[in-house]
Amino acid sequence: MASKLSYVQAVSSVNPSFWNKLTEIKLNVDKLSESPRPVWGYFTLLSKTTVNQPLIELDSTSFNSDFNGQNMYVPFKGKVINKNTVEDFKECNKQDVINTEGKCLCENIVSGEAIKNPVLLNSFLLLTFADLKKYHYYYWFSFPVPSGLVLEKFSAKIISEEFNSDRLKQLYVAFQALDAMNKTYFIIENQNDKLLVHSLSSKLSELTAESTTDIYFAFFNISMDNKSIGSQLRNYAALILHHCPFLKGKTQKFVAVSVTRHGSEVGLDTSVIYNLLLPDVSTDKFDSWVGWEKNERDKMGPRVANMKNTLDPKIIAENSVYLNLKLMKWRIVPDINLEVTENAKCLLIGAGTLGCAVARCLLGWGVRNITFADNGYVSHSNPVRQSLYTYEDALSMKAKSEVAPKNLEKIFPGVNAKGVHICIPMPGHSVGESMLKQTVEAVQVLTDLIKDHDIIFLLTDSRESRWLPTLLGCYHKKIVINSALGFDSYLVMRHGCSSDTSNNPELVQDIEGYKIIDGDNLGCYFCNDVTAPGDSMKNRTLDQQCTVTRPGVAQIAGALAVELAVSILQHEKRIKAPAFYKISSKAEDLDPEIENQCILGLIPHSIRGFLSSFNQMLPATMKYDKCVACSDVILNEYKEKGIDFLLKVFDSSKHLEDVTKLTEMLADFDMDEILEFSDEEIE
Amino acid sequence: MDTGFSYDNFEKCITEIVNVSNKLLDGWKIESKQDCDAKFMTKKHSTYLDGLDGSKTLVTFEYHVAYSLSYGVPVLCFNIWRQDGTMLTIEEYWSLNQSLKDSNMHDTLTQMDHPVLCRPFLTLHPCKTSEFFQPFLENSKNPVVSWLSVVGSFVHLQLLEDYIKCC
């Protein structure tokens, strides 16, 4: 009794390197051309035991002109048609597309081309649209076979029932001697109990109605089980019927070849011999073709591969950067909160040596939002010390606020870097009538910037330019990290924040040998000074105006500023984290409570370093109640009078001393003895 | 790091493996990068991974066994992709491996640059490799085989009996 054959269709499995290569070819070679490009697909010669679907694989070698099966793969020969628009991809008539391909296959059968090159019977078509901006690949495979060709099965038996194992071993050797193209479809002849293997081109034309009794039409069966057959058998039957018309309406023996392994033995033992009834049809009747692959929802429709994470170099860079940080979390500091660092918005006031060093170190921590505020232009002396600028930038005299974010993005495209060109109004730099509007605007811009950011880095080269951001940072309760450089010394400190309740600056609690100052009560950069910041540019020689420093100082201080900021972010109290300082020389070892203040260690108030002795110390100081920048008097004055107060200060820094009543106090001192902050005095 | 296992030893081992593989159609092949002498061994393997919800995902593994100059041991790098070519991340892979739940992912797997191709690959942690590898250096004729037979199970890589005969 004849019964229906059960077919399986190839199941596409695309390697990422295929999409990579397709992209490369589209961009560099094909460009707008939509003409079909030949591609190879391949099956593993050895039947898979772990997967029950016949996987046809494509990878970057699919585009090679010659197939390299390495004796492990059996080829399929296809075409990729890469459409230029998603509309073309979706709207082109799929029946026409597959019919055109089928017609082409039919021509190869009729002309005999498919006898010389049997892999042509394993035709496939891949219709694609590559959205190269998003790295989305729309694709649809089809494996055309004629719909009007019906084969019926009379019998089926495992090959080992017909041939003994010696025969099968010979058969396997002969099969392996065929080249990859001829492994797809070939002829086995049973000649006096010897099994001979012939390529189609060497045997098919000799066949007659009489000689076919000892002939087996063999084909490599892509199916993973021995109950079903790859759908391409119908193409093989079409070829046989066209070139051996005497077989129409006759039964004929076929061998569905499969290669399996048992222990150390590889062979064809699981192949199946079929007795099939060939229909009485002719090739010119094949006008309708079928074979589109179903998608992952088991529907007739295309698939989409979102390859952004795999192929977009920006995403790869981003993932690698965060992987480095994740490794820290996985292996060393499991409790670190990387998100809080990543999402911290950082404002860098000053984009010079310090600004560049801070920005680069922030990148290392995966910080995404970095804004530069600067009023300078790249000069020829800058690039060697300021790591975000090049000679080219100096030649074109570009604004640092413009170049720094651009170059930061060149280093890491995932960063959201901005620049604001701004002159920060300073105490004692008087504002004339003509400058008034500009100054008021600058105050507004700076205020907005500070409100919009979480961490404010003060990295300018003068003392007075830090005054306004110090005041605003304190007023808006931001984390303010200040860094200043001497020739061979540096200061990195965090500013205390304004407290909600006006409590007395008191020491919270003591650990033996240490004093603790609460974050609310820590001083700012100006707290140790008893003069208001004046115009430090006046009456100064060139070497005094510019910061002349040992080149490494800024790198060290910049890195410390970032690490201090990151440690603060990891403390549950953030800016209100207390600071410790040693009061007894007996306290040699750090108390564990101090050492483990946050998961990254302790959080000092300030770090003062001296390159001459390669020494560093961690002083902590309290807020000064007459401080010209962060004291309650000043904050209240600003709260009440706002810009009017600021303008008065810009006109004369003495106003600050009046407000804080420093003037009265200073009257008692001899001014000549009061020096500006100098590192050597700290000890 | 001097482990006493040189690149030449490594190349000898993988050549031996590929020779056995060719007879068994097991899929291992030797590859190299243009303008680079260093060879490595690769193989692809498709299988289903079980998700938490009982779903099965068809994936293809691509294994690379290359020699790490810095660690002085072979490293097992791999990539895994779904049917459409999208790759699995380290976390996705772990979530599809019920059998590995008892081990700590980050002690076992990491992402590293391939020693020859210099592209990121999922990698069996090389620290672990030295640990596993050392004992085989003295006792195995093919330490690469011995090592793979131990660590392969983390990445669905099963080594046939025939390779073990080389050791």
CB A626 within 8 A of CB A660: yes
A292 DSSP β-pair partners: A142
Q: Which residue of A has its CA nearest to B30?
A: A70
Q: Which residue among A13, A266, A316 sits closest to B25, beta carbon to beta carbon?
A: A266
What mean pLDDT do residues A127-135 have? 94
pLDDT given at position A70: 80
Q: Percentage of chain A surpassing pLDDT 90?
A: 66
Cα–Cα distance, A500 to A432 (Å, whole number): 36
Backbone torsions φ then ψ of A530, nearest 5 degrees: -110, 20
CB A124 within 8 A of CB A76: yes
What mean pLDDT do residues A411-427 have? 94
Cβ neighbours, 10 Å, residue A101: 23
With H, G, I as helix, E, B as strand and everything else as coil, classify residue A544.
helix
pLDDT given at position B107: 74
Q: What is the mean pLDDT of chain A?
A: 89
Mind listing the pLDDT tens digit for each residue in B99-148? 666 667 777 888 888 999 988 899 988 777 777 788 888 888 999 999 99
What mean pLDDT do residues A588-614 have? 84
pLDDT given at position A503: 52
Give yes or no for residue A671 having a pLDDT over 50.
no
Mind listing the pLDDT tens digit for each residue in A437-491? 899 999 999 999 999 999 999 999 888 899 999 999 999 999 999 999 988 999 9
Nearest CA-CA distance, residue A57 and chain B, Å:
9
pLDDT given at position A395: 93
Q: Which residue of B has its CA nearest to A261?
A: B24
Q: Work out the pLDDT band at A516, boundaries 50, 70, 90.
A: confident
pLDDT given at position A653: 82
In the DSSP assignment, the letter for residue A268 is S
What mean pLDDT do residues A366-378 have? 95
Give yes or no for residue A253 having a pLDDT over 70.
yes
pLDDT given at position A580: 84
Question: Which residue blocks in A148-278 are alpha helix, DSSP H?
Answer: 165-177, 200-203, 233-243
Pick from A9, A311, A305: which is nearest to A139 by CA? A305
Q: Of the given ranges (A118-122, A178-182, A672-676), which has the lowest mean pLDDT? A: A672-676
Cβ–Cβ below 8 Å for A48 and B23: no
pLDDT given at position A8: 94
Chain A residues with a Cβ under 8 Å from any Cβ in chain B? 11-16, 18-19, 44-46, 48, 50-51, 53, 55, 57, 70-72, 137, 139, 259, 261, 263-264, 266, 296, 303-307, 309-310, 316, 319-320, 323, 327, 330-331
Q: Which residue among B26, B48, B86 sits closest to A310, beta carbon to beta carbon?
A: B86
Pick from A82, A79, A71, A60: which is nearest to A15 by CA? A60
Active site includes A546? yes
Angle in degrees, 0-180, between the axes of helices A436-452 and A467-475, rounded to the nearest 10: 50
Cβ–Cβ below 8 Å for B25 and A310: no
Cα–Cα distance, B157 to A682 (Å, whole number): 64
Q: Which of A546, A598, A627, A630 is catalytic?
A: A546
Q: Cβ neighbours of residue A26 under 8 Å, at least 6 residues apart?
A: A82, A130, A132
Cα–Cα distance, A231 to A5 (Å, whole number): 10
Nearest CA-CA distance, residue A73 and chain B, Å:
9
Q: Write down all domains in chain A, each with its CATH number in brackets.
A: 3-144 (3.40.140.70), 152-288 (3.40.140.100), 338-670 (3.40.50.720)
Q: Which residue of B has its CA nearest to A138?
A: B84
**Owner of token pair 């600071």:** A579
Chain B residues with a Cβ under 8 Å from any Cβ in chain A? 22-27, 29, 44-48, 58, 60, 62, 79, 81, 83-87, 89, 106, 110-111, 120, 160-162
Cα–Cα distance, A320 to A326 (Å, whole number): 10
pLDDT given at position A655: 85
Q: Work out the pLDDT band at A680, boundaries 50, 70, 90.
A: very low
Mind listing the pLDDT tens digit for each residue in A225-252? 888 999 999 999 999 999 999 999 999 9
Q: What is the CA radius of gyration of chain A?
A: 40
Q: Which residue among B29, B46, B120 sits closest to A13, beta carbon to beta carbon?
A: B46
Nearest CA-CA distance, residue A223 and chain B, Å:
15
Q: Work out the pLDDT band at A69, boundaries 50, 70, 90.
A: confident
- The ipTM assigned to this model is 0.93
CB A270 within 8 A of CB A258: yes
Give yes or no for residue A672 having a pLDDT over 60.
no
Mind listing the pLDDT tens digit for each residue in B60-101? 999 999 999 888 889 999 999 999 999 998 888 888 876 666
Strand order of the sheet with strand A416-421? Answer: A416-421, A369-374, A345-349, A455-458, A479-485, A489-494, A606-610, A615-617
pLDDT given at position A533: 67
Q: Percentage of chain A surpassing pLDDT 70?
A: 91
Say which residue, A191 or A137, is predicted with more confidence.
Answer: A137
Give yes or no for residue A506 having a pLDDT over 70.
no
Sign of CA dihedral A316, A320, A326, A330: positive
What mean pLDDT do residues A338-366 have? 95
What mean pLDDT do residues A551-579 have? 94
Cα–Cα distance, A567 to A574 (Å, whole number): 9
Give yes or no for residue A539 having a pLDDT over 60.
no
Sign of CA dihedral A409, A413, A415, A417: positive
Q: Work out the pLDDT band at B53, boundaries 50, 70, 90.
A: confident
Q: Write down all domains in chain B, each with its CATH number in brackets.
A: 7-164 (3.30.1460.50)
Angle in degrees, 0-180, between the axes of helices B143-151 and B126-139, rounded to the nearest 10: 130
Q: Work out the pLDDT band at A330, boundaries 50, 70, 90.
A: confident
Cβ–Cβ below 8 Å for A15 and B58: no
Q: Work out the pLDDT band at B4, boundaries 50, 70, 90.
A: confident
Chain B residues within 8 A of A334 when measuring between CB atoms: none
CB A259 within 8 A of CB A47: yes
Give yes or no for residue A545 having a pLDDT over 70.
no
Sign of CA dihedral A40, A45, A47, A51: negative
Rounded to the nearest 10°, the torsion over CA A487, A493, A497, A502 is -90
